[in-house]
Amino acid sequence: MVILSVKKIFINQKGQSLVEAVAAVALVAVVVVVLSTLAIGSVRNAYFAKQQSIASFYGQQGIELTRSVRDQDGIVDWSGTLPPSSKFSALWGQTLGAGVLFKLVQVGVNWQLEQINDESFGESFSGGFKRTVKISDDSGSCGSDPTKIKRVLVRVTWKDNKSELISCLTKIENLK
């Protein structure tokens, strides 16, 4: 019969021992663990790179919008020595020291800076990103005349990390 002859083949075969089978399973398990670890690390790195890229975009946009507020002599709402809703040009005569924290606010087609007390009140974006703009007096790192230069630090934070971009804005003199 066929069943007996198949049984006879398996019983009479000599070959793999139990030790060899366990070693093969262990080797496969190690390979699977290594490949899984590499795949998980790769996915994490790709996710972080995506988040960093988005934060970089929001940071660069914050610098450009702040520059636009300066160029258009836009509104700066703050509780300093200036009256509410002053123009950006009024900041040049102010001593900001370590800096004043703002968020960018869109009003119609224009942007303005609105003072905030804490980074948690910054602009919120989808994905859990927040952006703040800190304008301070330049300590000489951007140029030689701190009365004509303000340091702008745009900080973008998200759940896992933060990103900072720094720029220097100079006073635009009217040429006539």
In a domain, 92, yes or no: yes
Domain count, the chain: 1
pLDDT at 176 over 50: no
Mapped onto helix, strand or coil, the DSSP state of residue 125 is strand
Query: What DSSP element (H or E) covers 113?
Result: strand 110-115
Structure tokens at 133: 């703009």
Q: Is residue 5 part of a domain?
A: no
Integer Cα distance of 63 and 153 in angstroms: 8
The pLDDT of residue 15: 57
Q: Which residues have a Cβ under 8 Å from the Cβ of 107 and sit 6 or more positions away?
A: 75
pLDDT at 34 over 80: yes
Kindly report, residue by residue over 105-143, the tens digit of the pLDDT: 998 888 999 988 888 888 999 989 999 999 988 777 776
Kindly report, residue by residue over 37-76, the tens digit of the pLDDT: 999 999 999 998 999 999 999 999 999 999 999 988 888 8
The verdict on residue 114 lying in a domain is yes
What is the DSSP secondary structure assignment for residue 32, as one 8-state letter? H
Q: pTM of the entire structure?
A: 0.75
Report yes or no: 142 and 159 within 8 Å, Cβ to Cβ: no
Q: What integer pLDDT is reported at residue 4 of this predicted model?
A: 55
Cα Dmax for the chain:
111
Pair of tokens at residue 46 = 């790709």
Range of the domain at 141: 38-170
Identify whether the C-beta of residue 101 lies closer than 8 Å to the C-beta of residue 66. Answer: no
Q: Please indicate, yes or no, if residue 63 is contained in any of the structural domains.
A: yes
106: in domain: yes
Residue 108 lies in a domain: yes
Percent pLDDT > 90 in the chain is 35
Local structure of residue 174 (DSSP, 8 states): P
In a domain, residue 95? The reply is yes
Is there a contact between 130 and 119 (Cβ–Cβ < 8 Å)? yes
Contact 103, 58 (CB under 8 A): no
For residue 80, being part of any structural domain is answered with: yes
Q: What is the pLDDT of residue 37?
A: 93
